[in-house]
Chains A and B, each alone.
Chain A
Amino acid sequence: MIERTPIFNLVCYTILALGLVIALLPFAIVIIASTLDLHAVNTVPMPLTPSVHFWENLQAAWVRADLGNKLVHSIIFAVSVAAGKVILSSMAAFTIVYFRFPGRYVIFWLIFITLMLPLEVRIVPTYSIAANALQPFQAILDVTGLTSLIAYLFGIQVKLEWGLLNSYPGLVLPLVATATGTFLYRQFYLTIPDELAEASKMDGSGPVRFFLDILLPLSRANMIALFTIMFVWAWNQYLWPLLITTDPKFGIAVTELKTLIPSEFGLPDWNVAMAGTLIIMSPPLILVILMQRWFVRGLISTEK
């Protein structure tokens, strides 16, 4: 249907343009502020024309927040989380879709229910386990009385300890399980015709071969989409890294932003803070731009 409604079109475009301005304005202010000097950024109202101090602000932010190190930590962290999520969810979905075993619906729904239990809800127990990953086993031993039995028989006090604080495993592992990813993969696997699995069976490949040779290559677009979303999500994590990286040397870029925010009595150098913000938000932005094509394809349809 072709409609000729110039006035309605105009109204639509105006609303869209307004929305765009509202969405982009904060970014514009961040970018402009990061080019100003200390004096200009503190005048009221702040000038809305860029100045020439961009480079020196970037340098100041880089040094003050130790961004060289922190960005590397952040990248390792976000890549591990995203890759972990892709691997885990592709495998979990594979089990759920392709294997008939008792309780697979229960397992699927258990995974699905975790959508309702984000990290923020279970943060105290999760922290406690990260502080000592063997704590649950210790608890089992204590409750069953094995600890005291062993202490009585061998004179050894069993004390299992495996701290994950200030380590990559501690940072990454609690974030790796993902119901969203598993669900995305499950839906994708369901679109793959059964004959493909049967053909590969006739060709003599077992489940692992089928997974590696057929399913993974076919789910490439899916994988890239999930990786991109999860990378951005992990990059922006704040609460968990803040809790677990108690050692200031081990922090990640996003939590490090707080060192850039001027304190109450310090120098109000918001220009440097804004420059730091720009640096920190650029890696996910670059990734999304690079992956855009794949990303959209992976979300809207399967490669035909």
Chain B
Amino acid sequence: MAPISIRNVKKSYGKTPVVHGVDLEIRSGEFIVILGPSGCGKSTLLRMVAGLEEISDGEIAIDGTVVNRLEPRQRGCAMVFQNYALYPHMTVAENIGYALKVSGVPKAERRQRVESVAKALSLEPFLDRRPMALSGGQRQRVAMGRAMIREPKVFLFDEPLSNLDAKLRIAMRAEIRRLHRRLGATSIFVTHDQNEAMTLADRIIVMNAGKVEQVGTPEEVYHFPSSRFVAGFVGSPAMNLLEGRVNEEGAFVYDQGRNIALSPERGRAFAGHRVVLGVRAEAARLVSPETPGALPATADFIEELGASRVVHADFDGLPFAVALTGNVRLKPGDRIGIMIDPDAIHLYSADTGAGLAAPARMPSKSVDA
């Protein structure tokens, strides 16, 4: 358990910058997920914390000690790799116990600790097997065991679940969460899978193109995305984003020429600005096309998600997703109407993508719930 401070950390390969100045304070025992598309620098940031990548500029401190110049083994971190990186010639027990062997822990104690870790991960029946003879999920658990045995101050996970099938991934997610609750070590988990991020994180850090876009709890990131990028990246389906302009009357005019009403004070505040309007699929309502104030659209296809359904509509040539509630029957080509609640609208700057205005409250529950 240790707090981690990342202060203005930069990384560049030669002249190519990859991470442009990241500042983060991670509290002791916190579970942090770094979320971002591939190539956004999230793994590089993790590897700089681990000591596998040199820090070009800035400082990383673990437990108050600046670790920039320390070897990985001196930093007290353990890491789980994407493809497990198990030693193929060693048995499961040897794999798990290798770190202890290196640090010269006597054999008897080593065995006992390996056994207790194996027990925690239900790996006991496989201790004498080679990694080759294990399934993907078992290998994953061995990799976790190898990280756990050193009782590290910090756990680092580099997309550890992306090689597993969907069902196993969900099971391992729960297992990682449980382990974290039990061990309480500060954890940093890198992923490009937003479901993973949402379910695991105490706080999510959304990264894009080497910069931190937003830091917040999963709820904050979902309901109050602070930039256009986060709005489009987090959530499934992604937030509907329409580019346009706020006219002098304070209504949003998107590029096809139709108006969407904004609340009067926002309309006044941003009159004349070029903005991007964002609406979550579940914040828009499906109504009959004749309803006054409804925006006319055509149903394109219906995504059946089991518990819920999403209509992907064609909105004057733009895609627009609306969550379906109740037992509405729709088929592709049907004309529909979309109602947008002015209070549920997010506004982003069209030039910088920065957030201009967010809904005053979280839909259906309050922020501090």
Q: Which residues of A contact B (CB under 8 A)?
A: 193, 195-196, 198-205, 209, 213-214, 217-218, 303-304
- Complex Cα gap A193–B84 (Å): 11
| Cβ distance B291 to chain A, nearest Cβ, rounded Å | 57
Assess the A201–B83 pair: CB atoms within 8 A: no
With a cutoff of 8 Å between Cβ atoms, the chain B residues found around residue A198 in the complex are: 52, 79, 81, 85
Whether A214 contacts B87 in the complex (CB less than 8 A), given A202-B72, A304-B132, comes out as: yes
Of the candidates A196, A201, A204, A304, which one forms a contact with B87 in the assembled complex, judged by CB atoms under 8 Å apart? A196
- How many Cβ-Cβ contacts under 8 Å join chain A to chain B? 59
| Complex: chain B residue closest to A209, CB-CB | B102
Of the candidates B52, B73, B81, B86, which one forms a contact with A204 in the assembled complex, judged by CB atoms under 8 Å apart? B73
| Complex: chain A residue closest to B147, CB-CB | A202
Q: Which B125-147 residues sit within 8 Å CB-CB of chain A?
A: 132, 146-147
Which 9 pairs, one residue from A and one from B, show the smallest C-beta to C-beta distance?
A195-B85, A204-B73, A199-B85, A203-B99, A217-B89, A205-B102, A204-B102, A202-B79, A201-B72
What 0/1 pattern do residues 98 to 131 of B give for CB contact below 8 A with A?
1100110000000000000000000000000000
| Complex: chain B residue closest to A220, CB-CB | B89
**Chain A interface main SS type:** helix
- Complex Cα gap A213–B85 (Å): 15
- Complex Cα gap A32–B78 (Å): 68
- Complex Cα gap A13–B82 (Å): 51
Q: Which B62-100 residues sit within 8 Å CB-CB of chain A?
A: 71-73, 77-79, 81-83, 85-89, 98-99
| Cβ distance B219 to chain A, nearest Cβ, rounded Å | 33
Of the candidates B73, B82, B88, B146, which one forms a contact with A218 in the assembled complex, judged by CB atoms under 8 Å apart? B88
Q: Does B50 contact A (CB under 8 A)?
A: yes
Q: Pick 28 A–B contacts, CB within 8 A, sort by A.
A: A193-B83, A195-B82, A195-B85, A196-B87, A198-B52, A198-B81, A199-B85, A199-B86, A199-B87, A200-B87, A201-B52, A201-B73, A202-B52, A202-B72, A202-B73, A202-B78, A202-B79, A203-B73, A203-B150, A204-B102, A205-B73, A205-B98, A205-B102, A213-B98, A214-B87, A214-B89, A217-B89, A218-B89
With a cutoff of 8 Å between Cβ atoms, the chain A residues found around residue B77 in the complex are: 202
| Cβ distance A207 to chain B, nearest Cβ, rounded Å | 11
| Complex: chain B residue closest to A210, CB-CB | B102
With a cutoff of 8 Å between Cβ atoms, the chain A residues found around residue B85 in the complex are: 193, 195-196, 198-199
| Cβ distance B317 to chain A, nearest Cβ, rounded Å | 46
- Complex Cα gap A217–B103 (Å): 20
With a cutoff of 8 Å between Cβ atoms, the chain B residues found around residue A218 in the complex are: 88-89
| Complex: chain A residue closest to B97, CB-CB | A203
With a cutoff of 8 Å between Cβ atoms, the chain B residues found around residue A196 in the complex are: 85, 87
| Cβ distance B142 to chain A, nearest Cβ, rounded Å | 11
Of the candidates A195, A204, A303, which one forms a contact with B99 in the assembled complex, judged by CB atoms under 8 Å apart? A204
| Cβ distance B162 to chain A, nearest Cβ, rounded Å | 14
18 more CB-based (< 8 A) A-B contacts, given A199-B81, A204-B99: A193-B85, A195-B82, A195-B83, A198-B79, A198-B81, A199-B79, A201-B52, A201-B72, A202-B50, A202-B77, A202-B78, A202-B79, A202-B99, A203-B98, A205-B102, A213-B102, A214-B87, A303-B88
Of the candidates B51, B83, B146, which one forms a contact with A203 in the assembled complex, judged by CB atoms under 8 Å apart? B146
- Complex Cα gap A147–B79 (Å): 59
- Complex Cα gap A203–B73 (Å): 7
| Complex: chain A residue closest to B83, CB-CB | A195
With a cutoff of 8 Å between Cβ atoms, the chain A residues found around residue B50 in the complex are: 202
Q: Which B257-286 residues sit within 8 Å CB-CB of chain A?
A: none
Assess the B132–A203 pair: CB atoms within 8 A: no
| Cβ distance A169 to chain B, nearest Cβ, rounded Å | 34
| Cβ distance B56 to chain A, nearest Cβ, rounded Å | 16
Assess the A203–B102 pair: CB atoms within 8 A: yes
- Complex Cα gap A32–B228 (Å): 89
| Complex: chain A residue closest to B73, CB-CB | A204
With a cutoff of 8 Å between Cβ atoms, the chain B residues found around residue A202 in the complex are: 50, 52, 72-73, 77-79, 99, 147
- Complex Cα gap A280–B51 (Å): 56
With a cutoff of 8 Å between Cβ atoms, the chain A residues found around residue B88 in the complex are: 218, 303
| Cβ distance B133 to chain A, nearest Cβ, rounded Å | 12
- Complex Cα gap A203–B101 (Å): 9
- Complex Cα gap A218–B131 (Å): 14
With a cutoff of 8 Å between Cβ atoms, the chain B residues found around residue A209 in the complex are: 102
With a cutoff of 8 Å between Cβ atoms, the chain A residues found around residue B79 in the complex are: 198-199, 202
With a cutoff of 8 Å between Cβ atoms, the chain A residues found around residue B51 in the complex are: 201
Assess the B103–A204 pair: CB atoms within 8 A: yes
| Cβ distance B262 to chain A, nearest Cβ, rounded Å | 51
| Cβ distance A276 to chain B, nearest Cβ, rounded Å | 43
| Cβ distance B161 to chain A, nearest Cβ, rounded Å | 16
| Complex: chain B residue closest to A214, CB-CB | B87
Assess the A195–B81 pair: CB atoms within 8 A: yes
| Cβ distance B247 to chain A, nearest Cβ, rounded Å | 55
| Cβ distance A201 to chain B, nearest Cβ, rounded Å | 5
| Complex: chain A residue closest to B51, CB-CB | A201
Most A CB within 10 A of own CB, among B73, B77, B78: B73
